[in-house]
Structure 1
């Protein structure tokens, strides 16, 4: 079972050509579209009554530089770090909104990592390849998540056409749990899967934001990884419902008011470990019934 969410982003960008007054109706369209796209459940089979530790394993498919891997790993480590939480606005405070969902609080623990730099299945993957790839890392089991991350020179069925990533349940033959996949779109479709760090494929061609870690592909992956990770843990389309929103005042085609690094000019809205900055998507707050942004 797999899910896509970037069709919603496409609707946001196209709708920007209609005008600002359409924002409310577009929000209703997004909610209806997400209800259609994301049927089913991604159960992690973990207790709802206690603080949960969820092991997040990573399969790196293709060639990633050490810096690229570090940017992504630092993001994952920042989700529940007390040191990261002390900063404002932080990756940890963004993640804390997930506590408001039925599953309650959860701690993401970085698990095992596997480098598949020799492209064992080639550079053109089909959808059925993703679940077996997630099973390459043994262990974790029920209550774990395995992220399959594909490099910029790897094509995946449906990538850039109607999705930037998917998530689903792992079969019992690969020790349970859930999996997700996110691709690096730097060379294939940055205007689709790495917006707002690249001009969009459709809608107003406003200047793109500068990526906070200087890597359009990887910073775009962070947005998509964050989206799918929240959706998996909450068992809701908690971030997909708020597609295209990063700061206050966001409307279709405009990411909203975010923070800007005075030295680099890069845009961000969350601080993480090792001095890292990230741009994270808005998350639906079930208590206020609104999309919540950090800034």
Structure 2
């Protein structure tokens, strides 16, 4: 089985963020249409956006823990962040535990139910309770505007030391989000996000964490697909999808956040659920479905998603009338990629 990056495009998008109230999607009874965007050039289906091997074998459980207790997310906002951007990302995170009354189907909470199917050796499932337990704004770029994988751990150590963050090694995960002016090792070239765990020598504890960068200025054509297209495609190739919240960098970032949180929850110490025999290059539950967003996806199609009356594309509903486009996750019961917006 080969790993595909499946990127498709349909409508020209705008990268200008709206104020929080304006970015929320309409509240009337308009029914969004379903469509399947065009097949992209073959050259776009062989690149790699996330951590993980391209050699897919059978997904196996390696006897390690999953995040079965209520999950506390501690966010580190590294760099300069606009408040509407923060609110959009937090709405996505809080939508994971939202009730059906807070978000219409297909919802982010329904999408997370696939992640919650994964269990540890005691039979305990990944928790469906995901909370934002704390936030820290590192506005002074405590470790500069160029970070390595190791210095990201130092950013966590700094936040734990100076912020009211507990060292929550039982329920906590640490989410480092870098602003669009921060360069990170391998960002744009090999990855758009990754997850791992901190070294006691760096932080003092072993803590699961994930990093995701805002690619809005550095490489939207690499990490904000399908909301941006490379320059060489602008002469007649498929155009970009319109992002659901009109912010190419943040809307693209949210799908990466979903990808990494799903993998972090099912494989927090890189010894639980993954394919392959090398834990240093695992293929995880997000990697197996990279580029798939709806029914009919595969072979270059993202699948059937939805489009609102303003042409913005999405496949999930969130709290506060938000809409998101987030990739599907491997379902261990169906042994296939799945999402709540499936039409079959």
TM-score by length of 2: 0.71
Task: Specify whether residues 132 and 9 from structure 1 end up closer, same or farther in structure 2 by C-alpha distance, changes over 3 A only.
Answer: farther
1:186 to 205, 212, 216: 216
* Count of residues paired in the alignment: 273
Among 236, 240, 246, the residue aligned to 1:214? 246
Give the Å deviation of 1:261. Answer: 1.2
1:108 to 121, 125, 130: 130
Q: Which residue of 2 aligns with 1:82?
A: 99
Q: Which structure has the bigger radius of gyration?
A: 2
- Cα root mean square deviation, aligned: 3.1
Output the CA distance in 1 between the equivalents of 2:53 and 2:187: 23
Q: Which moved more, 1:131-140 or 1:72-81?
A: 131-140
Give 1:121 shift.
1.6
Residue number among 189, 197, 215 corresponding to 2:227 in the alignment: 197
1:116-155 counterparts in 2 under 5 A? 116-135=138-157, 136-137=159-160, 138-139=165-166, 140-155=168-183
In structure 1, distance between residues paired with 2:75 and 2:55:
27
Structure with greater proportional helix content: 1
Summarize deviations over 1:211-266 as a string: whole Å, max 9, x none.
1111000011101000000001011311111011111112243322111111x211
Give me the whole-angstrom Cα distance separating, in 1, the residues matched to 2:55 and 2:70: 28
CA distance in 2, matches of 1:218, 1:41: 34
User: 1:228 aligned to 2:260?
Assistant: yes
C-alpha deviation, 1:105, in angstroms: 3.8
Please show how residues 6-45 of structure 1 align to structure 2 within 5 Å: 10=5, 12=6, 17=41, 33=54, 35=56
| Cα distance in 1 for residues equivalent to 2:141 and 2:260 | 24
Counterpart of 2:29?
Answer: none
Gaps of 5+ in 2: 8-38, 46-51, 268-272, 274-283
| Stretches of structure 1 lacking an aligned partner (at least 5 in a row) | 1-6, 24-30
CA gap 1:43/1:156 in 2 versus in 1, 3 angstroms: farther
Equivalent of 2:333 in 282, 287, 293: 287
C-alpha displacement at 1:171, in angstroms?
Answer: 2.5
Q: 1:217 to 1:32 in 2, by over 3 A?
A: closer
The aligned counterpart of 1:241 is 288
Partner of 1:60, secondary structure, is strand
Please report the TM-score for the alignment, with normalisation by the length of structure 1: 0.82
Q: 1:128 offset after TM fit, Å?
A: 1.2
Among 169, 175, 195, the alignment partner of 1:167 is: 195
Is the contact between residue 215 and residue 249 of structure 2 (CA under 8 Å) also seen in structure 1?
yes
Distance across 1 between alignment mates of 2:64 and 2:72: 15
